[in-house]
Chains A and B, each alone.
Chain A
């Protein structure tokens, strides 16, 4: 069964450094998403992406965040200058053209020191 994959599974970085989290959505999906879960809190929507542009973003998704689909398979989330409070689990999700179910990846745990 096709699934969303994410790399790395765990990323440790120093405050102020840039990180890129990678996702490979399900191959025929056209809608892509990033969500965040701070430890002990609920899963929060960050951004949705369709047709090579952002379709919606939350208040959390400020100028330090960006997303990109650099090729036909990857979907990336870049955090330009990480802060301590960016430490969280980041989930990628994708959705097909039809249907309303998003398929979530296993997540990347980001730790900012």
Chain B
């Protein structure tokens, strides 16, 4: 069955620290990969997406992610986090399973200390 695993459930960083959030997926077909962010009390926002082409994808707010097909991974990175990056981050993959749907990981709660 298709699944998405996020390695860290909670991450605490100081401002200006570098961030890397791990994401691995299990799906045999062609994948479309996403990272969503959910700020406290707000709805899902798309950070970035990978469909094809350059495996290094740049998104909004200085985030980027690298698709490594051989490792089934799509890790999210940011060189220097800010207090305003405090949020929950969800990795997701599109899957065709008779229909078409998005499968989300469990999420990683990031807290950035000022």
Contact = CB atoms under 8 A, between A and B. Distances in A.
Residue among A42, A48, A93 facing the most chain B CB atoms (10 A cut-off): A42
The DSSP consensus for interface residues of chain B is strand
Interface in A71-95: 89, 91, 93, 95
Contacts of A25: none
Interface in B29-80: 32, 34, 36, 43-44, 46, 49, 51
Q: Which of A31, A93, A104 has the largest number of chain B CB atoms within 10 A?
A: A104
Contacts of A56: 97-99, 101
State the majority secondary structure of interface residues on A. Answer: strand
A50 B44 CA distance: 23
Contacts of B19: none
Given A43-B90, A100-B32, A48 B101 contact: yes
Given A31-B100, A48-B100, A55-B99, A43 B94 contact: no
Nearest to A46: B101
Given A100-B32, A104-B44, A45 B101 contact: yes
Interface residues of A, number: 23
Nearest to B92: A43
B112 interface: no
B106 A42 contact: yes
Contact of B107 (A35, A42, A50, A101): A42
Contacts of A42: 90, 104-107
A100 B51 contact: yes
Nearest to A56: B99
Contact of A45 (B34, B46, B103): B103
Top 10 A-B pairs, shortest CB-CB distance: A56-B99, A55-B99, A106-B43, A48-B99, A43-B104, A100-B32, A45-B101, A42-B106, A107-B43, A42-B104
Interface of A: 31, 33, 35, 41-45, 48, 50, 55-56, 89, 91, 93, 95, 100-102, 104-107
